[in-house]
Amino acid sequence: MLFKNKNLLLLHFIVFIWGWSPILGKLLNIENVVAYQLVWFRMLITIATIAIYLLATKRNIKVSTKDFFKLVGIGGIIAFHWFCFYNAINISNVSVTLVAFATGTLFTSLIEPYFYKRKIIRYEIIFGMVIIGAIAMIFKVETHYAWGIVFGMLAALTSSIFTVFNGLLVQRIPSSLIAFYELSGGVVVLTVYLLLTGEFSHDFFVITPKAWMWISILSIVGTAFPFIASVNLMKKISPFTITLTVNLETVYGIVIAYFLWKKDEAMTPGFYLGTFIILATIFGNAIMKQYMKRSL
């Protein structure tokens, strides 16, 4: 029981750290770091951190050529995902981004059955329609944040895509290697894009000392450490508990942002009603899955 409580405490700590990710994104925006800069440097520093971990654990990093190109391709999706996520924060705010990002549950329920060769579950479609209705409600009352919602939902869609792909790959490739190759692939894809668009310039590398501090914290504490720790926890805690707890990231992020930037993060009652409906639906979906498993 003691070990179980420690594991649950560590899980909540990891989710709490993830809740700070959009906060750090906004702090970097204040320091005039744009989304593609943040993504490029975050991936680079995280790769270096994971590489040190792989060397320390003497992990064999060989993968097949076929898997290598798959991982690089998924890395490109991850780079686009992070760009959408932090761009949403830049053009709206943390609360709007996190609520839009919470629609990932809907996208996963539609994408997962195709790749896992199973039927679409009816109640997931119903829950999905409820989430769409809640998003439509938020769109109606927060029209000036429309593009923030769009980019937040794009971040959710791409997150669902690479999560499903990784769910298949992790069956035969260690998670640390998946992260290393995917993030390396993401850096390569993003670098090619930046070169083609002429974004690589002297100004790209001009970053304030405070911004370097935030990027380092986001990369090492907010990305590399939670990833490795969460993978280890999957061996000790049920998937249901992990899924349910991870949904608290949206709650943590919105609450932290509200206390830090009350004026910028204060929203209309319609927004909070829509947020409540989305979160209630996500938790309801998780509880329904657990009930269905027990009834089998």
Overall size of the chain counted in residues: 296
Domain positions in the chain: 39-295
Cβ contact 186:76 at 8 Å:
yes
Displacement of CA 27 from its chain's centroid (Å): 18
Q: Give whichever of 99-108, 148-157, 224-233 has the largest mean pLDDT.
A: 148-157
The pLDDT value given to residue 244: 62
pTM, two decimals, is: 0.86
Cβ contact 81:159 at 8 Å:
yes
Burial class (CB in 10 A: 0-12, 13-18, 19+), 114: exposed
Please name which of 284, 286, 282, 273 lies closest in space to residue 134, comparing C-alpha atoms: 273
Cβ contact 83:36 at 8 Å:
yes
Q: For residue range 41-94, list pLDDT tens digits in order.
A: 999 999 999 999 899 988 888 999 999 999 999 999 999 999 999 999 999 888
Please name which of 214, 223, 211, 155 lies closest in space to residue 183, comparing C-alpha atoms: 223
Q: For residue range 183-209, list pLDDT tens digits in order.
A: 999 999 999 999 998 888 888 888 999
Q: For residue range 244-283, list pLDDT tens digits in order.
A: 677 778 888 888 888 888 877 777 788 888 888 888 887 7
Please name which of 214, 183, 228 lies closest in space to residue 79, comparing C-alpha atoms: 183
Q: For residue range 147-160, list pLDDT tens digits in order.
A: 998 999 999 899 88
CA angle 152, 154, 156 (to 5 degrees): 70
Cβ contact 116:245 at 8 Å:
no
- Please, which pLDDT band fits residue 37 given cuts at 50, 70 and 90? very high
